[in-house]
Amino acid sequence: MKPKKHTVPYDFLIKLVSLGKGVVFHSIEENFSGNVDHFETPYPSALLCNHVSEADVVSLSMVYRRLNPKIKMIIPAREDMLKSGFLQKEFRAKGIIKWIFQFIDAIKIIPFLLRYIGAVPIKRPFRDNARELIKSGELRDKVDSEWTELVANIKRGRNLFMFPEGTYSHDGFLNQIKRGAYYIKSKIDNLHFNSFTLTYDHLSYQKTKLYIKYGKPFQIDTHQTADQVIRLVGDKLGKNYTVTLGNLTSYVLLKFGKETKIKKQQLVDLLLKLKKQIESTFPEITVASELRKESFHTQLESIFEKLKQFKLIDWEEETVHTKEILYHIPKSIHNLKKSNIVMYHRNQLTAHLTHLEEVWNGIFTNQGVPNEST
C-alpha cells in the first residue's frame, strides 16, 4: 500500500471549501496536544472526529492543512450531499440566496468537488432510501459494500476522515459511538488512529466560533472487543471538548437550579475563579483563549442578549435574572440547540463534569452562590 500524496489541484479544491469559513464562522481557534503545530497522520490512518452539523465540511477543510504528512483523504458523506439539488433542499433559502443555491445545484459543482476530494456516499438509517432497503432486506448488504469500499480506498493509498457517531449530535455532546473504528481496524491490521474534537460556541459572538482540539496518535489493539473500542473512541473525543465562555457560562447558570438574580460582575468573578481552578487543577482540559485572556465582557454581553432573545433570562443594567424555563428539560433533545441552547452548551462539557463539580464544590463549600435571590 503506497500513500496517495496530495497534489496542487487537490489542495486547491480543498482551499475552495475552506473559503466558506468566513461565511460559517466568526473565527477558528486551534489547540494542539504537546509542543507541535501539526496533526500526525502517518499512512494508513483513520482520523476520528465528532459530528456536529453541516459546518463540519468546512471544519475538515481547515484540519486538512494541519495534516502531517498530507495524504489524499477518503470521507464518508451523506448520500444526498452527492446528489443534485442538495443545497436548496437542505437549506430552503429564500430571495437571492435561493437563486444562487439553485445555480450552484444546477451546475452540479458540489457533487463533483466532494467526490474529487474523496467523499463517498453512505446510507443513513431511516434516511435517504434506507427504509426501502430495510423492507427489501438489502440494507445490510448495502452497508457492507459501503464499508468494503472505504477499506479498499484506504488500501489504495488514502487516509480516512471518519465520524464514529454516524450522525449529527443532537444535544451538544457525543451521540452513541458506532462500531466503525473496530470494523476498519479488523480489516487493516497496521492502521493508525488519531482524533480531533470540534467545539462550536454559538453564544459568544454573532456567528459561531469554532475550536479544534487535536489529539495524539493512539493504537487499537487486535485483542480489544468492539465495546472496548467504542469506549476508547468516546473517551478520546469527549475529553478534548474545549471549555469556552459559552459552555462555562451555561454550566454556571444551570448550577443555580432555580430562578436566580446575580450581578454581572459577580458572574464574571465566578467564571474567572472556575477558569483558574480548572487550569491549575486539571491542566489537561483545554480552555478557550477568551477565558485565558480574562477580558470577555463584550462576549458575555452577547451571550446575555442571545439568551434574552430565547426568553431564558432577563437582563437589566448590571443584573442577570434567570427564568424558570431555563431549567426545564425539553421532551425531545432532537434539536436541543433550538429548544434550550444553554443546556446544549453545558452538555459540551459532559466528559469534564466530574472535574467541574470538584472545582465548583471547592469554591462554594459552605458558602453558597454569592448574593443569589429567588
Give pLDDT tens digits along the chain (374 positions).
789 989 999 999 999 889 889 989 999 999 999 888 899 999 999 999 999 998 998 999 999 999 999 999 999 887 777 777 877 777 777 888 788 878 888 888 888 888 888 988 876 554 555 556 555 555 455 567 788 889 999 999 999 999 999 888 989 999 999 999 999 999 998 999 999 999 999 999 999 999 999 999 999 998 999 999 999 999 999 999 999 999 999 999 999 999 999 999 999 999 999 999 999 999 999 999 999 988 898 899 999 999 999 999 998 888 999 999 999 989 888 889 999 999 999 999 999 999 999 999 998 775 544 444 44
Give the separation between CA 259 and CA 247, rounded to whole angstroms.
Answer: 19
Give the separation between CA 23 and CA 5, rounded to whole angstroms.
Answer: 30
What is the C-alpha radius of gyration for the chain, rounded to an integer number of angstroms?
A: 22
pTM: 0.90
CA dist 60 → 52, 203, 285, 302 (Å): 12, 22, 22, 27
Sign of the CA dihedral with 105 first, then 106, 109, and 115 last: positive
CA dist 242 → 91, 234, 238 (Å): 28, 15, 10
Which grid coordinates are listed for 329? Answer: 428539560
Which grid coordinates are listed for 24? Answer: 460559517
The CATH number for 8-239, chosen from 1.10.890, 2.60.40, 3.40.1130, 1.10.287, is 3.40.1130
Q: Are 156 and 3 in contact (CB under 8 A)?
A: no
Give the separation between CA 246 and CA 251, rounded to whole angstroms.
Answer: 9
CA dist 327 → 188, 205, 244, 312, 343 (Å): 47, 23, 21, 9, 8
CA dist 221 → 109, 147, 154, 234, 270 (Å): 41, 20, 19, 16, 43
Angle at 234 between CA 280 and CA 176, to 5 degrees: 135
Domain boundaries, the chain: 8-239, 245-364
